[in-house]
Amino acid sequence: MATRWGICSAGKISHDFLVALKTLPATEHQAVAIAARDLARAQDYAQKHGIPRAYGSYEELARDPDVDVVYVGVIHPEHLPVGQLFLGAGKPVLLEKPLGMNAAEVRELVQLARSREVFLMEAYWTRFFPASERLHSLLSQGALGELNVVRAEFGAPLSGCPRIMQKELGGGALLDIGCYCVQFATMVFGERPESILASGFLQPTGVDETLSVILNYRGKRQAVITCSVLTWLPNQAAISGTKGIIQLPSEMWSPTELVVNGQHEEFSLPPPSQPLNFPKSTGLRYEAQHVRQCLLKGLKESPMVSLAHSELVASILDEVRRQVGVTYSQDRA
């Protein structure tokens, strides 16, 4: 049977997720319902994407008995309450990153998912790209020997987007794009850093606009991260070890190319059936495939993006924000 998806929110990323689902067999994935707080917008998306049911509230979607799993693409401050709504209703959830505004919110969601024995995964789509699968394979084979240094950067001119610049909307470079770099380093080293050094600049609104982070790990291993919402960066990542280097030469959050000790490997994506809001978004198909496999196996969390992994990433983000001076109303003393 096909996995029946409910879509929570009719925003840009939800559109791209729906386009990505269309690249997969309809016998395996179907979008059966969409909810938005504006019913007309949900109906517009339903018509555009061939979805049979549209709701004007998230609660109606949570009550839909024909929904197997919900993709949640709301703004950052809504992740906790909306995630709680669906998990409380017993719905498996694929929740966009960051899972919560801070580590405390992430822990709340994790505890609820575990207590209700419901699947929950943070939607770090990067982890499921074919290029990422190849990267994981190379690292597990010891292709680089002992790992020493990770570098990652994500920068784009996003200052014209209110969601990025406004604190009450969960804005800031770190939570929106820098988290991909922190997640990448955490994927490579797989443990909590021994020390975190962060420095950056804030907007007048109090959100971070540009920052750099050094994560020092035991054994003299290090990750160096830069993110910015003011300007383009090279947007590359690299992993260096005693036996060589693997580079992600462009758009490290949606990789379609690896350079392994100078040898190029390319991984194509299927073309979209409709225009996309973000580059390479048909790559969202891979996380959808992974979620389906997890559900078919009866898993309550992903072995690739575990809940412990999400908690670790969130705790690093918290410390980085503390050092650069970014606080949100969701932060508790």
| Contact between 165 and 171 (Cβ < 8 Å) | yes
Q: What gap in Å lies between CA 46 and CA 53, rounded to an integer?
A: 7
* 91 part of the active site: no
- Cα–Cα separations (whole angstroms), residue 229 to 128, 150, 173, 304, 313: 25, 21, 6, 28, 20
Q: What gap in Å lies between CA 180 and CA 3, rounded to an integer?
A: 27
Q: What gap in Å lies between CA 275 and CA 316, rounded to an integer?
A: 35
Strand partners of residue 147: 241
Closest by CA position to 93, among listed 331, 305, 272 = 305
88: number of Cβ within 10 Å:
12
Q: Which one of the listed residues 12, 97, 220, 300 is annotated catalytic?
A: 97
Catalytic residue numbers read 97
